[in-house]
Structure 1
Amino acid sequence: MTTPANPTTPARPRPKAARKPGRRRVGAEWMPRQHGAWAMLFLPYLVGVTLLAQGSGVPAFAWPLLPAWLFGYFAFNALTLWLKSGRKPLYLRPALTYGAVSGVLGGLTLALAPHLLGWALAFAPLLGVGLWRAAHRDDASLLARGSAVVAACLLTAVMTTGGPLDALRLPLTARPTLATLALWAYFLGTLLYVKTMIRERGEAAYLTLSVGAHAALFALALWGALTGVVPAAFPAFFLLTTVRAAVMPRLEGWRGRRVTPKQVGLTEFGISFLLLFLLGWA
């Protein structure tokens, strides 16, 4: 016969089921959190490959160049975090690891195309600006981000011209020149636009700056098309980006829902592919 439980004795709590360990998230020092940077990393390379394929063919150096470029960006990201954090050891290991991998792949690229070494003179000051601002914890400023944009878009010229002096000698109507200028215009404008959607959300002065800059780029593209300098599709593209810059920041108030960074990013991926088509086949 069982003894009845004493009503004054508190019931023992049932043991909780052990939680299954979730996936450990990779730290920002190993995988950059700037998701908007992916289009900026890949689009200039894809434009360069497209232009080369339509010319004499894609040279061998283009294949190790892409991973060297990506690992170089990972190293730069970790290095900026290291400087921004006051030189915490956490960020030094990925910076050195990615830097070593990028160095090996970069060496292979230079072995296949030694003339590319001359571009170091163009990239060094641009990267230096980003590191300098990171050391002052100002890596999100227009100066820091703008220098990164200029450096990223130079990759098209790196791939399609012999060197910096050769690129400067090309006429304005040359496809590598037009492609590089168009990439600069799009990504520098997008830099302003994205700030109105995230960091400078609701700032009327910043919105005016963004829309004004986009309108100026559209006017410049329209002038170029009317004078025969650029294809007729250019002003249509920059009109699209101007409308996007003016409408998207106001969309929240109209529909009563916040536009998420993911939605902003997906929109830019679509526009980036449109620009790739424009520069490659228009």
Structure 2
Amino acid sequence: MAHSRGKRRLRTLVRNGWISDQHGAWPMVILPAFVGAQLAHRGSIAATADTLAVIDPVLATSLPITWLTGFLCFTAIERWALTPKKRRPSCLPAIITWGTIATTTGLITVIRSPMLLLWTPVFLPLFVAALWEVLHRRPRSPLARLTTVTAASLMLPVFALGVVGAPSPLRTTPELWRATAILGSYFVGTVPFVRSMIRARSDHRWEHASVLWHLTSAVLILLATIWGAVSWPIGVLWVIIACRAWAFPRWQRAHGPVKPIIIGMLEIVLSIVLSALIILA
């Protein structure tokens, strides 16, 4: 009885926009930010000694809250857009609450580290494109997915620079951008891969796009591995990631649909392992 009440409560929270029902989005929200913060803590992001400041406790608190509540506000707006008009008012408390918190902590963050405003020209087009798709009831379109995934991936350098109040994104080591490219490439690749396995399993174009993306990324990462710019464990893992993009759709055609929970758990494990390897490299 208690379990069923809990499930009903959870469905109500989702329906009213308080939490996201897109389970695959959570690794993208959490891991790039976590990796960036860990790189900052390790002191490996700065190109010059004067940017090697200790982590600012205010920024280390306000920045994650801003990012998380901003994400929750966006998903509440998405839920509002998908809800029939007569039930849309039920989503407004979540939008107002998450939006107010994100705005408040966002102001604190910018006041504490004004240079974070340099990211505005990067994030604004991504936000506008994603919001346009959401308001037109297309939250799962390729444009919506790719813009949100790109924005989430770019939180790696934002957090790496933001939590120490670094003066400029231009004064960092190549390691930060390599980490962003590697993790971002993985998350971008999940868009065509997951689509080829679930919603568009009968459309081979998504499978071809997934295989092409992963093959190209694997070649580039292996070349970087040979040159010493990327660690061998990451190179080996990327080969595994590329193989899964090729093998899973073929296995599914031969043996029937793979349960979404299996696909989701695999992606969570791969993203966590890849993040750990980036931090430990």
How many Å apart are 1:42 and its aligned residue? 0.5
Are positions 1:65 and 2:63 aligned together? Answer: yes
Bigger-Rg structure (1/2): 1
Per-residue Cα deviation, 1:11-64 (whole angstroms, up to 9, x for no partner): xxxxxxxxx983433234111111000000010111012101111543321222
Distance, in Å, in 2 between the alignment partners of 1:258 and 1:84 is 27
TM-score, with structure 1 as normaliser: 0.83
Distance 1:188 1:127 in 2: 16
Residues 130-139 or 70-79, more deviating: 130-139
Report the alpha carbon displacement of residue 86 of structure 1 after superposing the two structures with TM: 7.1
Aligned to 2:48: none
Tell me the SS of whatever aligns to 1:167. Answer: coil
Which range moves more in the overlay, 116-125 or 147-156? 116-125
Counterpart CA distance in 2 for 1:83 and 1:253 is 35
Match for residue 279 of structure 1? 278
Partner of residue 14, structure 2:
27
- The separation in 1 between residues aligned to 2:106 and 2:187, in whole angstroms, is 25
Once the two structures are superposed, the pairs formed by residues 180-191 of structure 1 within 5 Å of their partners are 180-191=180-191
Are the equivalent residues in 1 in contact too, given 2:234–2:274 (CA < 8 A)? no
Give the TM-score normalised by structure 2: 0.83
Compared CA separation, residues 279 and 129, structure 1 to 2 (3 A): same
What value does the CA root-mean-square deviation take over the aligned residues? Answer: 2.5
Query: In structure 1, what is the equivalent of residue 266 of structure 2?
Result: 267
The number of equivalent residue pairs is: 261
Shift of 1:253: 4.3
CA distance in 2, matches of 1:192, 1:170: 31
* Correspondence 1:54 to 2:38: no
Equivalent-residue separation in structure 1 for 2:40 and 2:56 (angstroms): 8
Aligned partners of 2:185, 2:90: CA distance in 1, in Å?
Answer: 36
Q: Hey, what does 1:246 align to over in structure 2?
A: 246
Q: Out of 161, 169, 183, which is 1:167 matched to?
A: 169
Aligned residues with identical type, % of pairs: 32
Structure 2 distance, partners of 1:227, 1:252, is: 36
Give the CA deviation at 1:276. Answer: 1.3
Contact 2:211-2:246 at 8 Å conserved across structures: yes
**Contact in 2 for aligned 1:119/1:164 (Cα 8 Å):** no
Taking the aligned partners of 1:164 and 1:213, their CA distance within structure 2 comes to 33
Distance, in Å, in 1 between the alignment partners of 2:171 and 2:56 is 22
* Mapped partners of 1:42, 1:234: distance in 2: 20
Correspondence list, 1:1-282, <5 A: 22-23=5-6, 24=8, 25=11, 26-28=13-15, 29-55=17-43, 56=52, 57-60=54-57, 61-85=59-83, 88-161=88-161, 166-168=168-170, 170=172, 174-254=174-254, 256=255, 258-282=257-281
Task: Name the aligned partner's letter for residue 280 of structure 1.
Answer: I
